[in-house]
Structures are given as C-alpha cells and as structure tokens.
Chains A and B, each alone.
Chain A
Amino acid sequence: MNKLSLLPLAFFTVLVSFFVYRLVLIERGNMPKDIPSVMISKQAPEFNLPPLLKNKAGFKTADLKGKVTLVSFFASWCVDCLAEHRYLADLSGKGAVLAGIDYKDVSADGQVWLKKNGNPYDVIAIDRDGQTGIDFGVYGVPETYLIDKQGVIRYKQTGPITPDIITEKLLPLIKELNK
C-alpha cells in the first residue's frame, strides 16, 4: 500500500482528535467565545460609583484596599444574572466583601429586582452608562471579578457563577488571598 494514501486518514484523525479535545474543553466550561481577560494580575481600574440603594455607601477604587473583594456585575435586565443570583448568598461571610455593580441599568429597576430576588451584597453601586464596566473589560453580564487586598484583579468569571465554580475556584482562591 502506498504510504501517501494513508495521509488523508492521518490528517482526518488529527482533525477529529482536535474537535474532540475542543468539545471536552467546552464540556468543562471553557467556551471558545470567552475572551481571555487582560485585566488579570492588573490593578483594578479607577472608579467611583454612586450607591444603588438610598442612604447607603457607594463604591470606589479606594474601598478595595485591605480586603478581598468579589465584584459582581449584574443587571435587572439580565437573565443569566438571575440564574446565578441565588448562589451569591453562598459566598456571603466567606472572607470576601461582596460588591454588586448594577451595570447599565435604571436605578428603580435595579432596586425592585433586588427587593424581589434578595440582596446578598455588602455594598452595591450603579454603573449607569457602563463606563466602569468597560474599564474592567466587561462584555457581557454577569461577570465576576475577584480582587485581592492590594486591589489587583486575580480572577474573572464570564457568565453566571455556578456551585462548582464557587467550591472549586472562588472559595479556595478567597482563602488563599486572605492568608
């Protein structure tokens, strides 16, 4: 048999292996449409946002110092945000300040949404025009950023957080950053 005639088969095998490999990655949550964040290991951007709820504090860059902070971008118009919302409470009191940023939302809508679905956040601000979101590199809510005591972004989750992500990634990392 001609060796060359085996070539298409070899090529095909390599191709199929690659497809299977990529499918397995998707199965593990590595979506090809996720854009790798360039903000990891970088200082969190400058921001100074007004509070979403009346008579509460807003949220600004200086608040990140000295505490591990989980910054969650969400919006009342975002369906996936509702999906992850009930899991956020599991992160409450686990060593990280839970900060919510209501992204490109109307204050009243955000307030009603929180009232209806519960408010697990320690601090909650509104990013009306989405500028802070752009500075963080947000391209689709929900997005979650874990920021260390020095204000450096250490982890980013694009899309809703799940119980698996909480136990396997977020909680161990929060523990480590609190050392």
Chain B
Amino acid sequence: MRLLLLIIALFIATTSYAARPDEMLANPALEARARAISKELRCPVCQNQSIDDSDADLAHDLRVLVRQRLEKGDSDEQVKQYIVARYGDYVLLDPPFNKATFVLWTGPAFLLLFAFLVAWGAFKSKPHEEEREDEE
C-alpha cells in the first residue's frame, strides 16, 4: 500500500517552479496571467530556462516586474513588449517570424526536404549497386 501511494505520488508530482511565495499576487487571475507570461520569457542569465523556472536573481526581478506591470493594468502583450524593448526578441521563448529568425523557423523544413531527397536518391540507386555486386 505504501509503495502504491509512493508510485501514485511520483506520477502526480509536477516540477517545482522558482517563483517564491512572496512574489505572488493576491489576485489569482492576475497571478495565473503572470505565470503564463513568465513561462514565455527566457531568463537572460540561465538562457535555457524561462524566468518562471530560473533561480537567477535577474529572473526574480523580471518576475516581480511582470507582476507590477500587470497590476498597473498592462495587457499580456504589453508586458511582453516591455521586456522585449529592453532585452530584444531574444527573451521570447517563442520567437516571432522575421528576417533574423527566418533560418530558425524554415531550417528544419529544409533539412527534412534535403534528407528526403538524399534518401530518395539512395533508394533509387540501390538496385544499380546490387547489379554491380553481381557483376563482380
């Protein structure tokens, strides 16, 4: 029974977040928006983490800032623009499609196409190789 409970607990356990209790807003709707925005913003210090995940001091400051802007009545988009104006598109974990991110967005599709062409070419030429082997 104990083991079963443990296993269940393991499955329902979610990852913990860096947001500290004292940062959180009293208004649950605002807090939920703040969490959602924080998850989309990259921490400039620990660059593979969102500010919601990161323990860095700057991430803490940015989380507080996001909440302050929301309390002042900013829309989600305005809050993100506020941070982007200072740190650039770089802080968006879902970067917009533009000249600088063109390769990022279309690269995988091109690579896939390229891989298909190579595979197609390889399969097509295979019978010839077999023939040659027969000749040898």
User: Cβ of A134 and Cβ of B125 under 8 Å apart?
Assistant: no
Residues of A within 8 A of B129 (CB): 2
B67 to A: closest C-beta gap in Å: 14
User: Cβ of A38 and Cβ of B118 under 8 Å apart?
Assistant: no
Q: B96-136: which residues lie under 8 A (CB-CB) from chain A?
A: 118, 121-122, 125, 129
Q: Is B8 an interface residue (CB 8 A)?
A: no
User: Cβ of B86 and Cβ of A38 under 8 Å apart?
Assistant: yes
Q: Is A140 an interface residue (CB 8 A)?
A: yes
> In the complex the two chains form, what is the Cα distance from A140 to B56 in whole Å?
11
Q: How large is the interface on B (under 10, 10 to 19, 20 to 34, 35 or more residues)?
A: 20 to 34
| The residue from A33, A35, A131 contacting B88, defined by CB atoms under 8 A apart | A35
Q: Is B74 an interface residue (CB 8 A)?
A: no
User: Cβ of B61 and Cβ of A38 under 8 Å apart?
Assistant: no
User: Cβ of B118 and Cβ of A35 under 8 Å apart?
Assistant: no
Task: Answer whether A36 and B90 are a contact pair too, CB < 8 Å, given A104-B57, A130-B61.
Answer: yes
Count, A-B residue pairs, CB within 8 A: 45
Q: Tell me the interface secondary structure of chain B in the complex.
A: helix
Residues of B within 8 A of A7 (CB): 118
User: Cβ of A38 and Cβ of B57 under 8 Å apart?
Assistant: no
User: Cβ of B87 and Cβ of A139 under 8 Å apart?
Assistant: yes
> In the complex the two chains form, what is the Cα distance from A38 to B87 in whole Å?
6
Q: How many residues of A contact B (CB 8 A)?
A: 20
Residues of A within 8 A of B87 (CB): 35, 38, 137, 139
A33-56 vs B, CB cutoff 8 Å, 1 = contact: the mask equals 101111100000100000000000
- Name A42's closest neighbour in chain B (CB-CB): B85
Q: Among the interface residues B44, B47, B86, B129, which one has the most CB atoms of the partner chain A within 10 A?
A: B86
Q: A103-117: which residues lie under 8 A (CB-CB) from chain B?
A: 104
User: Cβ of B58 and Cβ of A139 under 8 Å apart?
Assistant: yes
> In the complex the two chains form, what is the Cα distance from A87 to B48 in whole Å?
33
Q: Is B45 an interface residue (CB 8 A)?
A: yes
Residues of B within 8 A of A38 (CB): 84-89
A and B contact pairs by CB, cutoff 8 A, 18 listed: A2-B125, A7-B118, A33-B47, A35-B44, A35-B87, A35-B90, A36-B88, A36-B90, A37-B88, A38-B84, A38-B86, A38-B87, A39-B86, A104-B57, A130-B61, A134-B61, A134-B65, A140-B44
